[in-house]
Chains A and B, each alone.
Chain A
Amino acid sequence: MSYFEFLSQYGDRLASGTLITMLLTVLSALLAIAIALAMGLMRLAPNALIRGIATVYIEIFRGTSLLVQLYWIFFVLPLFGITLEKFTAGFVAVGMNLGAYGAELVRGAILSVPRGQWEAALALNMSPAKRMLRVILPQALLIMLPPWGNLMIELLKGTALVALIAVADLMFQAKQINGSTFLSAQTFGTALIVYYILARFMITPFMRWLERFMTRKLGRA
């Protein structure tokens, strides 16, 4: 079978898998961003209990594997009465895992905003919430965007693991096609190339554009 025959026969399934992968990536990215912001801010809270909760969350999710977390959420959580449908379990696991890494980026970026900015905001008598929201976070955002670009690629790669709980993403489709055809080079090779295209020609340019956009918007041109 030529590669073109292979593509015409299995292209649809690979394409539908790609769509699921993209959807998973977007959903888990949104979740990761929300968790990263919440946990990153909590890590800097004056209250030791709040700080402690965030630290425990971050250490647990960074200290164990995404695969372990995925299996735990999918196989063990139902024993506690929380049953997630496999697609949901998939993006929740990826989002919670990458959110823990993102939290450290948020925290680091906030801490690297120069001290003078905090002091100037205080001298203007801004409330702690306003200081954070109007002065510190916009500047921290610009600092953390480049590392978030790498994190988004990690997130895309992380979504491939949901195939192991039978979510029909690109990885899963490749596995299935390989199982019935044994055309491993074609199936896995095509999937690798699609992941590469998603990372290099969609996520990376988007993050670069976002960086330029934010830089312009924040007047640092």
Chain B
Amino acid sequence: MTNESLSDFPLALEGDNMPMVSFRKVTKRYGDLVVLDSLDLDVAEGEMVTIIGPSGSGKTTVLRMLMTLETINDGVIYVDGKPLTHMPQGDRLVPASNRHLRQMRSNIGMCFQHFNLFPHMTALENCMEGPVHVLGLSKKEARERSEELLEMVGMADKRNQHPSRLSGGQQQRVAIARALAMRPKVMLFDEVTSALDPEVIGEVTNVIRRLVTEHNLTMLMVTHQMGFAKDISDRVCFFYGGRIEEQGTPDELFGNPQKERTQQFLSAVKEAT
């Protein structure tokens, strides 16, 4: 990316309507394959945005870029007004240093499809790991915080179990507690129910539902569960071919989709379930 193109982007976002997350003309390529094509997407503070779409549409990439698990080829991402992928140097933006990335990452938490709990730590130790070793909390503080969160996700009684002794649904709930223990401003849920047996999906979605109603977290979620998306989202974005084909409130998008591709996708999903 050339510095000229970067000069089109502001050093920071300000104002009353400042979005918590803002993608500006973000492009991601793997070789010749364009995964995301000049994406513009704003998420307001406290908003719950769900991303749906066929596989290969780039929806998971959106979350992974926000977590800095993927680099981007063009554009800038802002979190809480500050550039995530870049940092100001003088009067222009330059690619972010590792230090800047670490600073910015503290705003974001993520839950994964395959939970990715640390197998050599108990549920409680998983939750305490970040607070103690990244945030520098005392063990006592971290334990209190973690136990509270495990209580909230209904896993307090299993806190001393290792992940190998927990079901998928239980592991995912611990993973949610682990991410929340870092007190992120933005939470990302990447197909968190896709690897679960049908009968335990509810215990995970209930936890997320509670987060939406009781907390003012900004959330982005990729899911295949249309019913759940419809229930809890403030806004739903339908991704197709690396761009947002259509977006709107759940009622608009599910009730009255405008674009043909959206209609096709939704009816195909409906048939499958």
Which residue numbers of A lie inside 8 Å of B, CB to CB?
A: 114, 116-117, 119-127, 130, 134-135, 138-139, 142, 218-221
Contacts and interface: CB of A to CB of B under 8 A. Distances in A.
A116 B133 contact: no
A219 B133 CA distance: 20
A123 B134 contact: no
Contacts of B120: 138-139, 142, 218-220
B204 interface: no
A117 B175 CA distance: 12
Nearest to A141: B120
B116 interface: yes
B122 A219 contact: yes
A208 B176 CA distance: 36
Contacts of B110: 123
A130 B131 CA distance: 13
Contact of B119 (A124, A125, A130, A220): A220
Interface stretch (B18-26, B36-44, B101-109): B101-109
What 9 A-B pairs come out closest when comparing CB atoms?
Answer: A219-B162, A120-B116, A218-B120, A116-B116, A124-B130, A123-B110, A125-B105, A138-B120, A125-B134
B117 A120 contact: yes
Given A116-B114, A134-B129, A124 B134 contact: yes
Interface in B119-142: 119-122, 129-130, 133-134
B106 A116 contact: no
B179 interface: yes
B265 interface: no
B118 interface: yes
B249 interface: no
A219 B105 contact: no
Contact of A126 (B68, B117, B122, B130): B130
Contacts of A114: 116
B112 interface: yes
A139 to B, nearest CB: 6
B243 interface: no
Is chain B's binding surface mostly helix, strand, loop or mixed? loop
Contacts of A138: 120
13 contacts: A114-B116, A116-B112, A117-B118, A119-B69, A120-B112, A123-B69, A123-B105, A124-B129, A127-B102, A130-B133, A219-B121, A219-B162, A219-B164
Contact of B133 (A117, A119, A122, A126): A126
Interface in B47-79: 67-69
A127 B101 CA distance: 11
Interface string B67-99: 111000000000000000000000000000000
Contacts of B69: 119, 122-123
Given A116-B112, A220-B162, A125 B118 contact: no
Given A125-B106, A125-B134, A220-B164, A120 B67 contact: no
B150 interface: no
Given A218-B120, A219-B121, A219-B122, A122 B68 contact: yes
B119 A218 contact: yes
Contacts of B116: 114, 116-117, 119-120
A138 B120 CA distance: 7
A117 B179 CA distance: 14
Nearest to A120: B116
Contacts of A126: 129-130, 133-134
B182 interface: yes
Contacts of B67: 119, 122-123
A76 B112 CA distance: 56
Given A120-B117, A125-B105, A125-B106, 7 more contacts: A114-B116, A117-B118, A120-B116, A122-B67, A219-B121, A219-B122, A221-B164
B145 interface: no
A124 B162 contact: no
A169 B121 CA distance: 43
A117 B112 CA distance: 10
A78 B192 CA distance: 63
Contacts of A127: 102, 134
Nearest to A219: B162
A120 B118 CA distance: 8
B164 A135 contact: no
B178 interface: yes
Interface centre among A114, A119, A125 (most CB of B within 10 A): A125
A12 B112 CA distance: 63
